């Protein structure tokens, strides 16, 4: 487990974005420190390693690529880069510099928090280590790298949410996942919408995975995928 509240170092020079995001991140359960430029960010990261860095690409002086490269020289702290819309080259370059993920501006707040949670989870900072490689439960295989499920010989393409939901259920076989846990892990605790969304996504998954239905509804409790009986 990491700290009680994962600590995010947010590197951004635009006050409007900082003022908007920092309270939201606090509300979503993160402690946040802010750096307005690259050298400050590197100094702060050295003082105390954050759990994750949200790094804007457009910074005065030293840009986000250079900051990411410097961070990577001495740390494998997860980095999410904020890039401009449709700058595919920037995203590729960011990933090459060692960023773990990116979010394109403008973004919805809950998209950012969902990415933060996903990256922290992959780095084992939220108490649940993600082993690399495929997951297997009965005749269903999940390929995290490809965002693909397979049932028997059949490949099943999943959207990001469907993948996150199936991943959560398959990593917790025989454990009933409550709606609150599912919302938190798959959509982010800041999700304000209708929580019927879970039922909708379970329905999508069931329809894609086919018969026999691998996801059991536990009335009033949540959803579970069972290990096959030996």
Closest to Ca ion by CB, 40 vs 141, is 40
Write down the least CB distance from residue 216 to Ca ion, Å. Answer: 47
- Which is nearer to Ca ion, 13 or 49 (by Cβ)? 13
Place of tokens 């409007």: 16
Task: Give the nearer residue to Ca ion in terms of CB position, either 34 or 165.
Answer: 34
Q: Which of 211, 215, 181, 219 is nearest to 201 (CA)?
A: 215
The secondary structure of residue 185, as a DSSP letter, is I
Backbone angles phi, psi at 220, to 5 degrees: 75, 0
Non-local CB neighbours of 43 within 8 Å, separated by 6+ positions: none
Residue 126 beta carbon to Ca ion: minimum distance, rounded to whole angstroms: 28
Nearer to Ca ion, 45 or 140 (CB): 45
Tokens standing for residue 173: 């076989």
Q: Which is nearer to Ca ion, 14 or 111 (CB)?
A: 14
- Give dist(CA 62, CA 194) in Å, integer: 42
Nearer to Ca ion, 14 or 46 (CB): 14
Instruction: Give φ, ψ of 156 to 5 degrees.
Output: -130, 115
Give min distance, CB of 201 to Ca ion, in A: 34
**Least distance CB 54 / Ca ion (angstroms):** 11
CB of 119 to Ca ion, least distance (A): 20
Residue with tokens 């980095």: 79
DSSP string computed for 81-104: EEEETT-HHHHHHHHHTT-SEEEE
* Site residues, Ca ion (CB under 5 A): 13-14, 56, 58
Q: Which residues pair with 101 in a beta bridge?
A: 80
Structure token digits, residue 191: 């999700």
CA dist., res. 35 & res. 55, Å (int): 9
- In the complex, what is the shortest distance from the CB of residue 99 to Ca ion, in angstroms, rounded to a whole number? 15
């Amino acid at each position: 487990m990491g700290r009680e509240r994962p600590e995010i170092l947010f590197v951004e020079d635009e006050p409007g974005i900082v003022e908007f995001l920092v309270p939201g991140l606090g509300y979503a359960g993160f402690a946040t420190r802010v750096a307005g430029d690259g050298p400050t960010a590197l100094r702060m990261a050295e003082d105390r390693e954050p759990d994750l860095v949200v790094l804007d690409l457009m910074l005065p002086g030293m840009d986000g690529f250079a900051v990411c490269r410097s961070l990577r020289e001495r740390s494998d702290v997860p980095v999410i880069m904020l890039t401009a819309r449709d700058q595919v080259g920037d995203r590729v370059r960011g990933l090459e510099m060692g960023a773990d993920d990116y979010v394109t501006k403008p973004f919805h707040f809950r998209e950012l928090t969902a990415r933060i949670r996903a990256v922290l989870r992959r780095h084992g900072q939220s108490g649940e280590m993600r082993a690399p490689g495929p997951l297997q439960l009965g005749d269903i295989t999940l390929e995290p790298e490809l965002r693909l499920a397979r049932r028997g010989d059949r490949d099943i393409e999943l959207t990001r949410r469907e993948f996150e939901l199936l991943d959560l259920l398959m990593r917790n076989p025989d454990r009933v996942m409550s709606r609150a846990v599912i919302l938190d892990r798959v959509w982010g605790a800041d999700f304000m919408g209708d929580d019927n969304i879970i039922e909708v996504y379970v329905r999508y998954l069931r329809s894609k995975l086919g018969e026999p239905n691998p996801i059991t509804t536990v009335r009033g409790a949540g959803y579970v995928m069972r290990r096959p009986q030996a």
